[in-house]
Amino acid sequence: MADDHRESRQERINRELMELLNELRVALPGVQFLFAFLLVVPFSQNVDRVTDFQRDVYFVALVAAAVATALLIAPAAQHRLLFRQRDKENLLQRSNRSAAAGLLALAVAICSALLLVVDILFNRTQAWVTAGVLGALLAWWWLAVPLWQRARKEQVRPED
């Protein structure tokens, strides 16, 4: 038997905020690990043998990982600082934008880190192809498929 209970606006906002914070708990360990890895790279023994291109790609990866970390942690930090301020809807909207921007920065960091490693271990062409394929895969699964699914559902049933 289907549950006909319709949640109130406040219940929906609370649920969506908790779902978002739980989703971020999945993304954060990965971005933090990548950021930590990138932070120790300059202290490796062969760092003096990198090319200008590799140094530039490293910079992009490092900054993107730092930005992703900051943006993906922001919703939890704001939630804690704004606790009991009765403004969860605005917090949810800001947190959603922060999470989306954080995932974009994470995609840049992942692709840049892959570009760097493949360039060092193999060659520049293989690095660009590999990073490009991964970028396309991330764009497809993280962006195109969800947006397509969203548009499809909106065509099938209009919003309540």
Is 4 inside any structural domain?
Answer: no
What is the total count of domains within the chain? 1
Taking CA 150 as the corner, what is the angle to CA 145 and CA 151, rounded to the nearest 5 degrees?
Answer: 100
Q: Per-residue pLDDT averaged across 141-145, rounded?
A: 93
Judged by average pLDDT, the poorest of 39-43, 63-67, 86-90, 130-134 is 86-90
Domain that holds residue 87: 9-156
| Reported confidence tier of residue 47, pLDDT bands at 50, 70, 90 | confident
Is 104 inside any structural domain?
Answer: yes
Per residue in 79-127, pLDDT (tens digit) is 777 777 777 888 889 989 999 999 999 999 999 999 999 999 999 999 9
CB burial readout 10-42, b (16+ within 10 A) else e:
eeebeeebeebeeebeebbeebeebbeebeeee
Q: Check residue 152 and give its pLDDT.
A: 87
Q: pTM of the prediction?
A: 0.82
Write phi, then psi, for 87 (nearest 5 degrees).
Answer: -140, 45
Is 120 inside any structural domain?
Answer: yes
Q: Check residue 160 and give its pLDDT.
A: 47
Q: Per-residue pLDDT averaged across 64-80, rounded?
A: 90
Is 3 inside any structural domain?
Answer: no
Is 39 inside any structural domain?
Answer: yes
Q: Check residue 145 and give its pLDDT.
A: 93
3 pLDDT more than 80: no
Q: Check residue 1 and give its pLDDT.
A: 42
Is 1 inside any structural domain?
Answer: no
Is 96 inside any structural domain?
Answer: yes
